[in-house]
Each structure stands twice: as C-alpha cells, then as structure tokens.
C-alpha cells in the first residue's frame, strides 16, 4: 500500500499538565503517514481521486488549534481518529512532538499507529 504523508505540521494549541501551560499556547509538530492506494489518482490525474493532504491538514489545524488537552497522548489519539473516521484511510501512523518540552532535548512526544 502506498503512503501519503504530512511532515512537520506545526500547530499552536493549549497542551500540558502544569498551570502555566494551561495559560499559554505551545507548538506541537505532527508527522503523519496514511496508507492509501494511489493507483487510481495516478491514472486519472484528478484531485477528487486522491487522499487530499491539504484537506487533512486543514482539518487537523482547526481541531488542534481549538483543543485544550493535558496529554500529548490524548491529542495524538484524537487526531488519528479524525483521519480514520473522516478520510478514506484504513491505517495511520502519527507522530506528535512537543518541541522544547524537556530541557536539553529537541522535542518529546508519542508515535502511534491505528487501523480502522
């Protein structure tokens, strides 16, 4: 199966368990791989036959910007569920990073894989 991906989608949101984190917006970065059969859009050359990564990105941006979760695990699960439920995707691998969350590291976060 082919992969459609979105790399380093950066979105500001309220995320964290500490009081100070609940009062600010922080950046999270998403890397997403979605299994999708690209043979039909490759043959038709028609955007309607694709897994439209712009539509996926816009949907996730709207969701994440409005979200106020404590855990990156919760946010990652909800983003994966949106992709599986709202787009023609049977499998998703999603990496959600919180840059600068731990001193001395580039970022921390979770990577999950979910199937329909």
Q: Which residue has the tokens 């921390």?
A: 108
- Using CB atoms within 10 A of its CB, is residue 68 exposed (0-12), middle (13-18) or buried (19+)? exposed
Q: How far apart are CA 58 and CA 101, in angstroms?
A: 25
- Which distant-in-sequence residues (6+ apart) come within 8 Å of 63 by Cβ? 78, 79, 82
Active site residue 98: yes
d(C-alpha 63, C-alpha 79), whole Å:
8
Q: Which positions are catalytic?
A: 98
């Amino acid at each position: 199966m082919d992969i459609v991906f979105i790399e380093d989608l950066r979105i500001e949101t309220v995320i964290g368990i500490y009081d100070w984190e609940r009062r600010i917006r922080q950046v999270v970065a998403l890397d997403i791989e979605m299994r999708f059969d690209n043979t039909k859009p490759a043959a038709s050359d028609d955007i309607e036959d694709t897994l439209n990564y712009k539509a996926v990105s816009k949907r996730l941006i709207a969701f994440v910007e409005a979200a106020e979760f404590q855990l990156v695990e919760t946010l990652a699960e909800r983003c994966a569920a949106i992709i599986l439920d709202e787009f023609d995707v049977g499998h998703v691998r999603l990496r959600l990073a919180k840059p600068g969350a731990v001193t001395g590291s580039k970022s921390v976060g979770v990577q999950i894989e979910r199937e329909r």
